[in-house]
Amino acid sequence: MTYKLSQITKKLNLDFTGSDIEIDGIHTLKEATSSQLSFFTDAKYISELPQTKAGAVFIDAKYADLLPSTTVALITDEAYLKLAFASKFFAHRVTTDTNKPIFGSNCDIDSSVTFGKDVTLGDNVTIMAGCYVGDNVVVGDNTLLYPNVTIYHGSNIGEDCIVHSGSVIGCDGYGFAHTKQGEHIKIYQNGNVVVEDSVEIGANCTIDRAVFGTTYIRRGTKLDNLIQIAHNCDVGECSLMAAQVGLAGSSKLGRNVVMGGQSATAGHLEIGAFTTVAGKGGVTKSLDGGKMYAGFPAIEIRLWRKMQAVLMRLVKNR
């Protein structure tokens, strides 16, 4: 889907000066191309303004001069809200249309499985009763989907994967902009999910599609049951997560991260490779790799144990 910039700005009640360029999507300042919109709402990304290649940017007037001359400034004091309204232009059109998938050899597909359009299945794929596989989904060789798995449009599932019953891959991330009156406006989630090879996903897990770009579950990762992976997360290779782990949006995990049951992260942080977070640990800031952490907020486990011991002595000595 491509729109003239003037078509979008007319709907958003915005004016602009410059070329009426063709727009085919939305992305971050860093990743946007000359045919995409972007937005600026957070001063910590100010260094990215002069380097952006975005065709146009929703931006407050006081920062507009920092944009390159090739980028159209869309002046607004509600940049995030305008982004939300603009995202609807590029949303996937949901229909019940279907066509026959491209099947590899030796696939075993239950007759109750529902496919969207333009699905591609590799060799030896097994899909059990009650599954839904949406538009433009790719499922790799030797992958098994247990009953009632749902895979939303545009998702890519690698080879030798197992997805257990009730899991949902590619559902919308939890993204809303807010009006001055306190109404919540949906930001359409126009990215996708990529699950790499040899991943196992437990029962009743949810993996959200990206706002734009991709949510990644990297090769060899194993998820227990009842896990929530939010939009734009990047879970490193061979990571392990026990039941009820929750990752907030844009969390980035290195390889071989281990997270105990009911542990969780705040959004937009990084956990280094070979890190362990103990059960119920709450990660509120980025963590160095190769260490063990516990508690809320999560700290190195040796310090946490000392704190618990001191607290216990204080209680006993009262």
Residues designated as active site: 231
Output b/e per residue, 74-85; b: 16+ Cβ within 10 A. Answer: bbbebbbbbbbb
Cis bond upstream, residue 297 (ω within 30)? yes
Lookup: tokens for 68: 């390159």
Q: In sequence order, which ranges of 76-200 are alpha helices (DSSP H)?
A: 79-87
Cβ burial of 187 (10 Å; 0-12, 13-18, 19+) is buried
CB half-sphere exposure, 237, CA atoms < 13 A: 2
8 A C-beta contact, residue 105 and residue 121: no
The three-point CA angle 313-314-315 to 5° equals 90
